[in-house]
Amino acid sequence: MVWDRRRRGRVRIVTTPEQVDIRGTDFPVEQYRLPNGLRVVLSPDRGVPVVGVAVVYDIGIRLEPPGRTGFAHLFEHLMFQGSANVAKLEHMSYVSGSGGTVNGSTHLDYTDYYEMLPSNALERALFLEADRMRGPAITAENLANQIDVVKEEIRVNVMNRPYGGFPWLKLPPVMFDSFPNAHDGYGSFQDLEAATVEDAQSFFDTYYAAGNAVLSVVGDFDVAHAVTLIDRHFGNVEARSAPAHPGIGEPDLTSERRSSYVDSRAPLPAVAVAWRVPDPVTDLAGYLPYVVLAELLTDGDASRLVERLIQNDRTATALSAYLGFMGEPFAVRDPTAIAMQAHLPVGTDVDKVLATIDEELRRIVDDGLAPGELDRVKARIALHMLREDDSVINRVLRLGTAEVIHGDAGIARELPRRMGGVTEQQIVAAAAALTPNRRAIIEVIAEGAN
């Protein structure tokens, strides 16, 4: 038996030669809704004198307007430029002055803002988040400044970096046809420069409503006191309902799609391949086998494709597989995918690498799994999740995104147990579904390779 003793009430993993039994975590989760529509998730943990606060808005890259690519990310920057009672840059200085950290990030289906502070600074974080929920300082000066910041970020992270945007920006337009799923989430310079103050205000009014947000608090706090503070600071935020989600589904592929591009800075060629998977929200049971399959194929030296491609064939130098183009399997909506990416030695035949992946998938379908293989992988996944949840920031974000994406923060506690219930039969069925006619491929031609 393996037992994590860092804190009480965590994941218990019982291992025998025949099976692994993974139970759900039991950290407390309380959920309620304010009259203005704001959903609140509380998870007290008095073990360490810190508290995490996150506000997750149900707006991400895939819902930004056509002609305004990169707008969701641009608006995330604007939210740090001051609000009604907080001057520009003061949000960050107040948090750091309390001994805390602050950040935000934009994702395919949500945007989050979060702080971690000493527990005696909880009210400060709640005040700051509530103030910008009422309205950030959307001015022409702030907008122009942050457009320049985002453009520079694109230059650094995409245009002037080896493998910039690979594969999360490069693969979706090969796999998908609709604007929400296929467009460049970082944004084009033309679209960013065309953004107006009116656009930004409209975006805030539509998507940054209290009814379109989740506030989560994790760590060292008293629930009754936290409820009082939350009502004090968020209770009088204007009540605005969440916009109806437009739906962004599109048909699965019926034939292979393939594209390539030249990267003058890449030292080695690379390839990424992806297949659509079941809806993680409406068909979580059908989705989870693909999460396990990704780990089984590429996580660790004992995984099938690492052993085959890297150790034996030496046709890859690095390899990974994951769910979701941004690698966040439990915080993404449909349509999404299982993706694999590999960096290759110079001169490697990409088709040979793809054929090897197909062979390993077929071996799973034809021969099943080796004794103990699935149990080893599930235990490894559970321990990864345990380590992640031990972080206050990771847990506060996992709870917030679970409420936004799945409509129930409590599902975050159930994921280890649900993962532990995946069967060999389900893994075989998932592998059988990853056929060449359903895949999208993007190849990096390394112009800088010697």
pTM above 0.85, yes or no: yes
What is the reported pLDDT for 287? 98
Rounded to whole angstroms, how far apart are CA atoms 320 and 303? 11
**pLDDT reported for residue 448:** 66
Q: Which helix (H) or strand (E) holds 126?
A: helix 122-134
CA–CA distance, 277 with 339 (Å, rounded to integer): 10
**CA 337 to each of CA 49, 63, 295: distance values in angstroms, whole numbers, following the listed order:** 39, 18, 14
pLDDT at position 2: 25
Cα 65 to chain centroid, rounded: 21
- The pLDDT assigned to 395 comes to 95
CA–CA distance, 65 with 199 (Å, rounded to integer): 10
Which residue positions in the chain have pLDDT lower than 70?
A: 1-21, 23-24, 448-450
pLDDT at position 336: 98
The predicted structure's pLDDT at residue 21: 66
Residue that has been written with the tokens 């990096």 in this structure = 444
- Written as six digits, the tokens of 395 are 């847990």
The torsion angles phi and psi of 427, rounded to 5 degrees, stand at -65, -45
112 Cβ contact list (under 8 Å, min separation 6) = 54, 55, 56, 57, 104, 105, 397, 400, 401
CA angle 53, 214, 219 (to 5 degrees): 30
Report the side by side order of strands in the sheet with 2-3.
Answer: 2-3, 12-15, 20-22
Q: Say how many C-beta atoms besides its own lie within 10 A of residue 195's C-beta.
A: 24
pLDDT at 385: 86
Q: Identify whether the C-beta of residue 304 lies closer than 8 Å to the C-beta of residue 251.
A: no
In one-letter notation, the amino acid at residue 314 is R
Strand order in the sheet with 50-57: 30-33, 39-44, 213-219, 50-57, 111-118, 101-106
The span from the CA of 398 to the CA of 120, in Å, is: 23
Give the model's pLDDT for residue 20: 56
State the pLDDT at residue 173.
98
What is the side-by-side order of every strand in the sheet holding 318-323? 257-263, 439-446, 270-276, 337-343, 318-323
Which class for 28: exposed (0-12), middle (13-18), buried (19 or more C-beta within 10 A)? exposed
Say what the pLDDT of residue 450 is. Answer: 59
3-state DSSP call for residue 3? strand
Give the whole-angstrom CA distance, residue 435 versus residue 254.
10
- The packing angle between helices 90-97 and 122-134, to 10°, is 170
Domains and CATH numbers, the chain: 30-234 (3.30.830.10), 257-446 (3.30.830.10)
pLDDT tens-digit map of 252-272 = 999 999 999 999 999 999 999
β-pair partners for 263: 446
